[in-house]
Amino acid sequence: MTTRTGNALAAQPERSLRVEHLVKAYQPGKPVLNDISFEVRGQNSVAIIGPSGTGKSTLIRCVNKLIPPTSGAVFVSGENISRLSGRALRHARRKIGMVFQEFNLVERLTVMENVLCGRLGYVSVWQAWRRTYPQDDIDRAFALLESIGLADFVHQRADSLSGGQRQRVGIARAIMQEPHVLLADEPTSSLDPKTSVEIMEVLVQLSEAHQIPLIINIHDVELARRFTSRIIGLSQGGIVFDGPPAELSNDHLKTIYGGEAWLQ
Amino acid sequence: MSGAEAFCRERPFKANWPVRCAWFAAILYALYAANYLDVSWARFVVGLGNGATFLAEMVPPDFSRWQLLIDNLIETVEIAIIASAFGVLFSLPIGLLAARNLLPSWVTWPARTFIALCRSFHPVIFAILFVKAVGFGPLAGILTLVFASIGFIGKLFAEAIEEISLKPVEALRASGAPFISVIIYAVLPQVLNRFIGFASYQFDANLRNSTMVGIVGAGGIGGTMFAAFQRFDYDFLAAILISIIGLVMLSEFISIRIKRVFQ
């Protein structure tokens, strides 16, 4: 593993995510995800669409082992995550940014504290307790908040913000990790249509600006078409479509979601 | 079939004979027990008379031994403060270890057992044990109240942690934060003000209990109070009771102020 990391540093490969033959079965013999394989490299945004309960959230959580996969492997920039545990897993998770449906901020902490939470994997417990982050982190946090229009809210508590603002803080927290891949789990589901579009813009912009591959779970097919360059359709635990939005036809949507009345 | 229909039309509130019998038995037992323990109206009336004499002898309160009183009160307050400080200090980690939503059962199980042990005895019993163990004096009182505090704050704190939202915990785990950092950032902010509430309530309770542990010789004003009782020194006793009331009211006032700061 040391040699692999060494090589990776020497070669500076593209930031990437590769999922190989991923299977997750909560109950033996009844897989929620069945043999999922895909790869995302470089500056690329992918939407994962599919009906509720088809394992989209499970898939995303299997990537950073919040949910341990049953079998298969996940590689982030070439490093195999699935075998890791303990400290090695924590260090690998720093490379995986995550944005949540319900923002998952610490309500009683300020916006700045929440954004700096993205650095907790890099600073010691003692530094975290005393809030002595490296000046570099603080400067980046200020710049990031400025760029997403939250400069005036730095010292406000997270619970005083609106939904859209909270999700921006959640995105900033993920970007602070300097991740190699950014996972977003239904990032717009708790937001109104206008704010949803704004949040998607922020996500895509930041992932492009920082060259981070972006994987978004989303159930709004129109948003997926509009903002991503590739769509993966998931149905009954398997990939049934993988291609650019232009190729996603109504027939595909019928296969993914079933029925057709809703397409009228 | 027709039986089922008839059943439906029965009265909605059916007579529950087992429950009625249980009530009857309970009342019967209460009467028997009162008789057995010689609880009677006659004794109650005699007792009222004794109480009146007792109260009459308490007036006027005798504050002439105020120096002894002050010394005892200071010792009482010291017991309460030291016990609360250490009790709070220990109950923070123990409460954390007992939270079942954060830690595996092999950690929470011993912590919960320890808390249950701290809660299983009344402070007086702990005080007797510690007087036997470390001898008469305030140390026994302090140890007693430390354990009482751990039992109370530890349990409530663990329950407060079990009620938190786990969403921020998930987010920080996903970012690769060490476990202790997750606790500091995602758990403590959610429970800190409740913890301060429990701690100030426990300080209040410790103050009242520290006036009592002296009765079994564990330091504080309780010992002097008990001696005054036994010497029929009722006017001095009245002075002690009045100063305890004053002390508790003062602490109530201060704790309201403190809570306002942490709002």
Q: How far apart are CA B239 and CA B244, in angstroms?
A: 9
Where is B43: in which H helix or E strand? helix B41-58
H helices of A153-249, in order, are 163-176, 193-209, 221-227
Q: Which of A94, A97, A109 sits opposite B185 (nearest CB)?
A: A109
Collect all residues of chain A within an 8 Å Cβ-Cβ radius of residue B175.
93-94, 97-98, 117-118, 120-121, 173-174, 177
Among the residue ranges A86-90, A231-235, A253-257, the one predicted with the least confidence is: A253-257
- Looking at residue A8, its pLDDT comes to 42
Taking contacts as CB-CB distances below 8 angstroms, the residues of chain A near B190 are 106-108
Interchain contact B168–A (C-beta under 8 A): yes
Residue of B168, B173, B174 lying closest to A106 (CB–CB): B168
**Minimal Cα distance from A129: which residue of B?**
B184
pLDDT at A263 > cutoff 70: yes
Interface confidence, given as ipTM, is 0.89
The span from the CA of A3 to the CA of A140, in Å, is 31
Q: Is B167 on the interface with A (CB under 8 A)?
A: yes
Model pTM?
0.81
* pLDDT 10s digits, A31-40: 899 999 999 9
Contacts of B165 in chain A (CB under 8 A): 107
Return mean pLDDT, chain A.
90
Contacts of B192 in chain A (CB under 8 A): 108
Q: What pLDDT digit, counting tens, does each position of A64-77 carry?
A: 999 999 999 999 99
What's the rounded mean pLDDT across residues A16-29? 92
Are A98 and B171 an interchain contact pair (Cβ–Cβ within 8 Å)? yes
Asked if A106 has any chain B CB less than 8 Å from its own CB, the reply is: yes
Location of structure tokens 């009211």: B249
Nearest to A183 by CA among A219, A220, A216: A216
Judged by average pLDDT, the poorest of A52-61, A236-245, B3-12, B223-232 is B3-12
Rounded to 5, what percent of chain B is helix, strand, coil? 80, 0, 20
pLDDT in tens, A75-96: 999 899 988 989 999 999 999 9
Q: What averages of pLDDT result for each successive group of 10 residues across chain B (263 residues)?
A: 57 83 95 85 86 86 88 92 94 94 94 94 91 92 94 95 95 94 95 89 89 87 89 89 90 82 70
Q: What is the pLDDT of residue A4?
A: 42
CA gap B189, B262 in Å, rounded = 13
3-state secondary structure of A56: helix
Q: What number is the average pLDDT over the span A18-22?
A: 94
User: Chain B residue with minimal CA distance to A177?
Assistant: B175
Q: Give the closest-approach CA distance of B98 to chain A in angstroms.
A: 21
Cβ neighbours of B177 in A, within 8 Å: 90, 117, 120-121, 128
- Do B181 and A125 lie within an 8 Å CB cutoff? yes
